Chains A and B, each alone.
Chain A
Amino acid sequence: METSFYHPTSLQDAINILGRNDNMVLVNGGSDVILNIVAKKIDPAGLVYLRDIQELNYIFEDDEYVHFGGNITFRQMLASPICQRIGGLRKAIEAVGSPAIRAVATPSGNIATAAPAADCATMLLALRAEVVLVSEDGERIIPQNEIYLGAYKTKIKENEIIKEIRFPKLKDRMGSGYVRISRRKAQDIAKIIVGATISLDEQARCNAATISLGALNSTAVRASSIENQLIGLEQDEAILYAENNFPIEAGLRDSYFKEYKKNVLCDAVAQAIKMAFLEAKGDK
């Protein structure tokens, strides 16, 4: 079947194309979608290329949120001073594929593909990201932790486009951490991904925490069993707690790496927490 290719230059044009045609697939960087096309997993009637929509190409922060547009690439994020300040996010982006992949691939695609071991999406989950979707039916906002239906499945409808991803701005005495365990340094699918944020009170005790886990379940998940227990703890107490308490949210399926993941996960969580504490204290 021949495949059409659409080059919308405005968000409204893209919305109209999706509204008028069936079996359309969105392409941004294409690093996931194109491989699915080549592998004949999908056979779209048309491809809608979002890269030329300038109104989706922005990164800014206001008093409440960090906002980035739906076609911002990982490379653009890495170059942004806003992302550079968030150590966990910076590390997560640096872990995505290779420089050539980061030049075209996007965090929007990372969330929409919903791969179980998505590096940046796992960190965004810890940052409490929200996804702004638009279609002919209007705009809706879904918290990222409610968007997944399973591996490679989301609640994003066929006629919807990710307009923006946003997450609450990290305030003073807040820090982020990210740990990834894989066999190779580059271009390897992680065996364990942990994202973390820690907020400290004036005595440097944790007063709020988020922990996200990737590559362990069918989707990235929050580990609230650990998060809740960190409240009131100092750095060393929090690390000790994480080292000795396995997150009940981690669903270890039977695989070659099951025992390895089981033995290593607590240390990975503890490392991510340590990084977030240090960043929160300004000791990055």
Chain B
Amino acid sequence: MPIVHFNLNGKYVTVEVDGKELLVDTIRNRFLLTGTKKACGTDDCGACTVLVNNLAVRSCAYLTCMAEGTHVVTIEGLGSPDHLHPIQKAFIDASAVQCGYCTPGMIMTAFALLEENENPSDEEIRIALSGNLCRCTGYQKIIDAVKLAASRRMQTKNHTWEEVK
């Protein structure tokens, strides 16, 4: 079986998988990183969104072998319960989480957007999140959370996440 090497949340990992194995299954079942959700399984809902080389991609429509030599970041690589990432904190502060199932995918997508565009407009946020479905919130609070995270970073001296308190 193919052997795949990639960087997962800052650590280099090696895994032997069948060529058909999905990245979401590798992340969840082999590395037990269950923050990444497998919901629709058909590339529609965005709950399985992770970063591959800083691009938000759907891990349910991405083969593990395609990740060879890449940097993969899951929600666990962004923050932890003790050290929330400012985007996670903003989602809590803006009450953008209800059942929470879509939240990891939303946050990973928001992170990818804010890496490219530090101060996106409402329209740009909506377009970026257009592939992430939420059945609870009605989306407005999620948009508010992304804006809140962006504005908190914009208020720092060097516009970095590390400076956000």
Q: Which residues of A contact B (CB under 8 A)?
A: 2-5, 7, 27, 30-31, 34-35, 37-38, 46-47, 49, 51, 75, 97-101, 103-104, 185-187
- Chain A to chain B contacts (Cβ below 8 Å), 27 pairs: A3-B18, A4-B19, A5-B2, A5-B65, A7-B68, A27-B63, A27-B66, A30-B61, A30-B62, A30-B66, A34-B22, A34-B61, A38-B42, A47-B20, A49-B65, A51-B66, A98-B46, A99-B109, A99-B128, A100-B46, A100-B56, A100-B58, A100-B131, A101-B43, A101-B58, A104-B62, A186-B127
**CA A97 – CA B42 in complex, angstroms?**
12
Contact with A along B27-54 (1 / 0, CB 8 A): 0000000000000011110100100000
92-134 of chain B: CB within 8 A of chain A = 109, 127-128, 130-132
B57 at the interface (CB under 8 A from A): yes
B19 touches A103 (CB 8 A): no
Instruction: List B contacts of A7 (CB < 8 A).
Output: 65, 68
Most buried by A among B44, B61, B63, B128: B61
B131 touches A186 (CB 8 A): yes
**CA A34 – CA B2 in complex, angstroms?**
17
Instruction: List B contacts of A30 (CB < 8 A).
Output: 61-63, 66
Instruction: List A contacts of B66 (CB < 8 A).
Output: 27, 30, 49, 51
Min CB–CB distance B18 → chain A (angstroms): 6
A185 touches B130 (CB 8 A): yes
Instruction: List B contacts of A97 (CB < 8 A).
Output: 43, 131
Given A2-B1, A186-B130, the answer on whether A103 and B57 have CB atoms closer than 8 Å is yes
46-84 of chain B: CB within 8 A of chain A = 46, 49, 55-58, 60-63, 65-66, 68
User: Known contacts A31-B43, A35-B61, A49-B66; can you find 9 more A-B pairs with CB under 8 A?
Assistant: A2-B18, A5-B63, A34-B63, A49-B63, A98-B130, A98-B131, A99-B130, A101-B131, A103-B57
120-156 of chain B: CB within 8 A of chain A = 127-128, 130-132
Give the contact-size bracket for chain B. 20 to 34
**CA A27 – CA B130 in complex, angstroms?**
25
Instruction: List B contacts of A101 (CB < 8 A).
Output: 43, 58, 61, 131
Given A2-B1, A2-B18, A38-B41, the answer on whether A103 and B55 have CB atoms closer than 8 Å is yes
A100 touches B18 (CB 8 A): no
Among A5, A35, A51, A98, point to the contact of B19 (Cβ < 8 A).
A5
Among B19, B22, B130, B132, point to the contact of A38 (Cβ < 8 A).
B22
**CA A185 – CA B57 in complex, angstroms?**
20
**CA A175 – CA B154 in complex, angstroms?**
40
Instruction: List B contacts of A34 (CB < 8 A).
Output: 22, 43, 61-63
**CA A165 – CA B127 in complex, angstroms?**
27
Instruction: List B contacts of A47 (CB < 8 A).
Output: 19-20, 63, 65
Given A3-B20, A34-B61, A187-B131, the answer on whether A100 and B2 have CB atoms closer than 8 Å is no
A100 touches B65 (CB 8 A): no
B19 touches A187 (CB 8 A): no
Instruction: List A contacts of B41 (CB < 8 A).
Output: 38
B63 touches A100 (CB 8 A): no
Top 8 closest pairs, chain A to chain B, by CB: A98-B131, A3-B19, A186-B130, A5-B19, A5-B65, A5-B2, A103-B55, A3-B20
**CA A272 – CA B152 in complex, angstroms?**
43
A187 touches B44 (CB 8 A): yes
Min CB–CB distance B150 → chain A (angstroms): 17
Instruction: List A contacts of B46 (CB < 8 A).
Output: 98, 100
Instruction: List B contacts of A46 (CB < 8 A).
Output: 19
Min CB–CB distance B57 → chain A (angstroms): 6
**CA A99 – CA B22 in complex, angstroms?**
20
Min CB–CB distance A264 → chain B (angstroms): 23
